[in-house]
Structures are given as structure tokens and as C-alpha cells.
Amino acid sequence: MKKTIALLMAVSFLCLTGDAWANARQTRAQYRKNLTYNKNALPAGWNYEASYTLWRLQKGLEANRHTYRRYKNDRNWHSNMQRNHRPQQIVLNGLDWTAEEVALFWRNYNEYFQIPPAGTEVIRR
């Protein structure tokens, strides 16, 4: 009786863990396929990605799967903002002045930006 129970336990243990032993190694093709179809699979070297590391250091976060997903969502949001608000970006870039242009503007129109002290205004009749 003890031998049959031990034999059944060994067979059930092998059946449960046999599939895990068979699928332990993944080929490169399977890995690439999992990247495209599995949203939870992370690319190789994700925690050493330079832009992710910079983003993470600016926010004071640690490197893990959750912060990498937050980084990807943040990066996608910023790219969508740039893509969807192109006219505003063109107008703002048109108003981007150099230091020389600002200095010339300030020299020419300086008197318009002076505020006289209170009580010195001239009363006109």
C-alpha cells in the first residue's frame, strides 16, 4: 500500500512539473513572438535603457516592471501631445527669440516698460 501511494505521488509530481521542464528554455523567435503578443513581456535590457533610467531618476523611482510601464505610458502620452498639437508647437517655435533679438527689442522699446513712481504723474487740463 505504501509503495503504491509513493508511486502515485511520484507520478503526479512528475506530471505537474514535467511541463515546466519542457518549456524552461525559450528560443529567440518565441521570445520575439511573446514581445509582440504579450503585453506583460518586457524587452531585453529594459532596466538598462538610458531614457528610462533618466526618467526614473528625475522622478525618484526604483527600477521595476510597474515603473517601466509608467515610463512607457508617459512617453506615449508626450509623443501624442506633440503629434496632436502641431499648430500650437509651430506658433510657439515662431515666437522663440534669440538673445540678440530680445536685447534689440528691449533697447528700442525700453521706455514703454518703465513704471514711474506713484505721485509723480502730471495732471493735464
**Amino acid in position 104:** L
Residue 41 pLDDT class (50, 70, 90 cuts): confident
Domain coordinates in residue numbering, the chain? 26-109
93 has a pLDDT exceeding 70:
no
Residue 119 zone, left/alpha/beta (φ > 0; ψ -120 to 50; rest)? left
Long-range contacts of residues 69-72, Cβ cutoff 8 Å, at least 24 apart: none
Whether this model's pTM surpasses 0.85: no
